[in-house]
Amino acid sequence: MLTTYEVRWFYSGDIPENTEYWFRHSCVVSHSKLPEKREDVYLYTPNCDYLGIKLRQGGLEVKWRYPENSSIQFGSAVEGNIEKWKKWRCLDFSEESFEFAQIEDNPVWVKVAKIRYCQLYTVVSKLPKAVSTDIDIDNGCSLELTDIEINGNKWWSIALESFGDNGNLKDNLEATADFVFISYDAFPLQADNSYAYPSLLKLVV
């Protein structure tokens, strides 16, 4: 079981050039790192935006959003909603469960293709530092820029997700957001477009 604080934004279409430029030149420390390509399969729960259930890389993941929320704002370019989530992940090493073939023709399960560019930050005394994604970090936050395709529809997303000691989670996210968005002058990120994947599916499916 894992607790995280997250803030996400979703927009239709392709990643804007100025947003991709900002991410590559102001955030990424290893330009040789290839993006992660994967396909997650979400259970469509249109009236439960506080619940996320998906099949990912051979496992079942369940997320539950806490009632609490807050917001972040950086000038006129960035405003978003911070959400607290509890996450459970179940793996079946026998490979007898969580098979896509079991749900392939069921319309309540939705394929979401993703190309994820990720940068990790370690946070010590509320001071973030960009580090390689190949090392293990106990306390920090991830920043991701993602190409998304759902039912032939293109979307893109920016997200921050913190991890570590429960008492530091929100501070980790806010400190990293302060750090990365100080240089952000690209596509405006608005609170109306700040939500999690269950809300995105409700718009697209």
Burial of 185 (0-12, 13-18, 19+ CB in 10 A): exposed
Picking from 68-72, 145-149, 200-204, which range would have the lowest pLDDT averaged per residue? 68-72
Domain boundaries 2-204, corresponding CATH code? 2.40.320
Sign of the Cα pseudo-torsion (74, 143, 116, 39, in order): negative
Burial of 64 (0-12, 13-18, 19+ CB in 10 A): middle
pLDDT of amino acid 93? 63
This prediction has a pTM of 0.92
35-54 pLDDT, tens digit each? 999 999 999 998 899 999 99
160-177 pLDDT, tens digit each? 999 998 899 999 999 999
pLDDT band at residue 96 under the 50/70/90 scheme: low
Q: Is the pLDDT of residue 95 over 70?
A: no
The span from the CA of 134 to the CA of 33, in Å, is 10
Segments making up each domain of the chain, as ranges: 2-204
Tell me the mean pLDDT in the region 150-158: 97
12-28 pLDDT, tens digit each? 999 999 999 999 999 98
What value does the mean pLDDT of the chain take? Answer: 91
pLDDT of amino acid 56? 87
**By percentage, how much of the chain surpasses pLDDT 70?**
96
Rg (CA), the chain: 17
User: CB of 140 within 8 A of CB of 120?
Assistant: yes
Q: Is the pLDDT of residue 159 over 80?
A: yes
